[in-house]
Structure 1
Amino acid sequence: MDSDSVRGVERRRLLGWSGLAAAGVVAVGTPLLGAGTAPAAASETAGQDRIPPDTLPGGAYDRFVTKLAAQDKFSGVVLLSYRGRTVLSRSYGMADKERGIRNHENVAFHLSSAGGPFLPVAVLQLVQRGEVKLSDTVGTYLDGIATDIAEKVTIHHLIIGTSWMDAPELDVHRVFNSREEVHEYNRQWARQARLVGVPGAGSSGHTAGGAVAGAIAAQIVEAVTGTTYWDYMHEHVFGRAGMRGSAYYTRTQWLTDEHIAHPYMRQPDGSRVDAVRNLDKDSLSQQGPNENPGRGFIHDVFATAPDLARFAHALSSGTVLDRPYADLYTGAKLPGPGDRLGAPAFKAYVGPLHIVNGQWVFNRGGGSGGVSASWTIYLDSGWVGVVLSNYDDLQEFGAILQRQDQAITGRPIDSPGGG
């Protein structure tokens, strides 16, 4: 892509974002208007003529998800939001089968890796305030890190995924009893990281490397702010975005709080087991090897579907990041592989970006035993799509994501993207 093309794409994206703010749909510093309440179809602000019929209650997307839920192939919440107002919000299945608590839109779901986009926001807030620079190396703020990492890996490398670090596999079967224990484990684990390539030389592709990069970046946030990473996130990211139902919960809270969905892992015999109450269970979960939920690492964030829509609109309104830094957050940095959208793909601080039917689309997904999560921000048009599930049925979950894209963009399923 030549420089003129890049400037043209950036200008269209900026105009799209400015249109959201200028329309007055979401005021700076306020939470998402009407999340989970007034439907956009009845709103003069949204405009009936701009809402694709497939996204409406009773439309093709709604009917598809309802059918899967009726077959017990989906349990969770789906939400579609347009310019700050909810178009569709549906909840299915049980948040806690043992206690008879149903899923609803104010239930928080474990995001797994789909919680990754929040850490770069915290880092960019520090950059915005002049407290750190993206070009600063790890050693500027932390000691005890391997010398080559301390001297060569920058904050930019950490949050874009090009640090080329690796680390020992996480102890996924360990159960932590306090945040202090989690904090010390993360600190020791980060100090075992080693370089396995040249920092900045494209995406490293190491899962463990991405996780340890997040752990190091979080420790830099703590070193600069003098508070815990979790407390900083709750106040300055979730709090500023109006995300009242989102947090880094402990396993004890997961077991006792009726507003947190329990994940149900698929077992070899086809049954499902509560992954929080049965940490010692081995599973052939469709998400991969059995994982210990609630480890307390960087990705162990919980969020409600309306909260993820609130974050998207707080981002577009300049609430969590000033405009230039919000644009930096979502701007394409590197080419990347395609995924479910089948469209041109790029890497950004926010996560994977695609160009779909001429607009920029961000999507971040995650999954583990009993957890499937995905949220999508259609940056130019103002749409947000969220699918959170406490089942790990990947085929059905992927079909829901395809139907969401089709309903919002009008792009036929399995067609190429294109700009």
Structure 2
Amino acid sequence: MAKLAAEGRFSGVVLLSHRGRTVLSRSYGMADREKGIRNHEGIAFSLGSAGKPFGAVAVLQLAQQGKLSLSDTVGTHLKGYADGIAEQVTIHHLLTGTSGLETPDEDVRRVFQSREEVHEYYEQWIRQSEPVAAPGTRTGHSGADVVIPALIVEAVSGKPYWDYVQENVFGRCGMTGSGFWTRPRWLTDEHIAHPYMTLADGSQVDAVRNLDEGSPSPDVLGKNPGRSFIDAPGDGGFATAPDLVRFACALGDGTVLHRPWAELLTGAKIPHSGSSFGAYGMPVRIADGQWVFGRGGGNPGVSAHWSVYPYTGWVGVVLGNCDGLPLQEIVGRETQAITGASPGDGGGG
């Protein structure tokens, strides 16, 4: 990591914890270059897709309370969807990425100005989803699979998704440095890392302070994470590395979900490639004979990954705020160090 940081390819925090005790913690680079604020353990980073499992936890909390069933269809809780979605797609399908739905591309150039505007956009966006395969067919990274469960959480709990997760996930886990924060706070709070996005000429800019700039990378062409006033329901958020360890520990000790429900969250549901499987909101895999679960995420100027090794009590966290990080290789080395598995067994986003 020090070598990557020296090459300008890593700025952020790496942390390894064993049974809740920090074994290794290293911080590199700047959280805010303009203000001269260095990265450290107390800095919160944008998570991207690494925050999606929070939504699955929220759904399972409500299922644990008997307020919904995983076999409920979309139409059980939400109105206005076509019959093929409302009557056939279940919460289980959505959480496993097997809804058979395809969602149109997002408008990545739109600059949002309020929570209400973000919520309205994503609610209307996922209503444009269309069935492209039978429910139960793996369709991957559909926006509907993320946003619809979050809207169901809202319908059942009576609270905005962001507030529900803040109170019932972050709050219960003691994740005091984590949240679904808005762009004004991102700009002013010295405990939040700014994403440094690489432009076509190789230069880096602070994405939150330069909303007119977009990524030249083909897979996220034109995107700038700072344009989202707040992350979409079911996605993203901010967390510190120690808070992600707290989340992992809370999953293991019954704090955030009763143990059978936590095991349901991380249990293998859908076979992927090799020894990797789909669980609820995250991939799980077998590495050198033991289960590993976690989630990765990325955006221009954003890299995040957390891994839990439940058999041995290890947790690994990598949080970065610049482009160019070989995240899969880093997680592979982490897995090798903890389990003895070959580096090729790492990754999983």
Aligned residues: 343
| Equivalence for 1:398 | 328
| Equivalence for 1:215 | 147
User: 5 Å matches for 1:288-327?
Assistant: 288-294=220-226, 295=228, 296-297=231-232, 298-327=234-263
* Cα displacement (A) at 1:364: 1.2
Distance 1:330 1:350 in 2: 9
Distance 1:370 1:80 in 2: 23
In structure 2, give the amino acid aligned to 1:106: G
Distance 1:273 1:407 in 2: 34
User: 5 Å matches for 1:197-216?
Assistant: 197-201=133-137, 203-205=138-140, 207=141, 209=142, 211-216=143-148
| Equivalence for 1:185 | 121
In structure 1, give the amino acid aligned to 2:323: D
- Which stretch of the first structure deviates more once superposed, 180-189 or 311-320? 180-189
| Equivalence for 1:231 | 163
2:303, 2:320 within 8 Å by CA — same for their partners in 1?
yes
Distance 1:275 1:394 in 2: 17
* Cα displacement (A) at 1:350: 4.5
Larger radius of gyration: 1
Q: Deviations for 1:181-219, whole angstroms, at most 9, x for unmatched residues?
A: 111112212222211110112x213x3x2x222111111
In structure 2, give the amino acid aligned to 1:265: M
Q: Deviations for 1:258-278, whole angstroms, at most 9, x for unmatched residues?
A: 111111112222221111111
In structure 2, give the amino acid aligned to 1:362: F
| Equivalence for 1:348 | 279
2:15, 2:22 within 8 Å by CA — same for their partners in 1?
yes
Q: Match of 1:337, SS? A: coil
TM superposition score normalised by structure 2 = 0.94
In structure 1, give the amino acid aligned to 2:334: Q
* Cα displacement (A) at 1:115: 0.9
User: 5 Å matches for 1:201-280?
Assistant: 201=137, 203-205=138-140, 207=141, 209=142, 211-280=143-212
Quick one: structure 1 residues 169 and 95, their matched pair in 2 at CA, closer, same or farther if it must change by over 3 Å? same
* Cα displacement (A) at 1:159: 0.9
1:337 to 260, 263, 273: 273
| Equivalence for 1:67 | 3
Q: CA RMSD in A?
A: 1.7
Q: Match of 2:334, SS? A: helix
| Equivalence for 1:383 | 314
In structure 2, give the amino acid aligned to 1:352: P
Quick one: structure 1 residues 286 and 67, their matched pair in 2 at CA, closer, same or farther if it must change by over 3 Å? farther
Q: Within the alignment, does 1:359 sit opposite 2:287 as a pair?
A: no
* Cα displacement (A) at 1:326: 0.7
Q: Within the alignment, does 1:174 sit opposite 2:105 as a pair?
A: no
* Cα displacement (A) at 1:394: 3.6
| Equivalence for 1:369 | 300
TM superposition score normalised by structure 1 = 0.79
* Cα displacement (A) at 1:356: 0.6
2:41, 2:241 within 8 Å by CA — same for their partners in 1?
yes
1:284 to 203, 212, 216: 216
1:96, 1:102 within 8 Å by CA — same for their partners in 2?
yes
Distance 2:193 2:40 in 1: 9
| Equivalence for 1:141 | 77
2:316, 2:334 within 8 Å by CA — same for their partners in 1?
yes
- Which stretch of the first structure deviates more once superposed, 294-303 or 145-154? 294-303
1:285, 1:370 within 8 Å by CA — same for their partners in 2?
no
Q: Percent identity?
A: 61
Quick one: structure 1 residues 415 and 116, their matched pair in 2 at CA, closer, same or farther if it must change by over 3 Å? closer
* Cα displacement (A) at 1:98: 0.9
Q: Deviations for 1:151-197, whole angstroms, at most 9, x for unmatched residues?
A: 10001111111111112211111121111111111221222221111
2:154, 2:160 within 8 Å by CA — same for their partners in 1?
yes
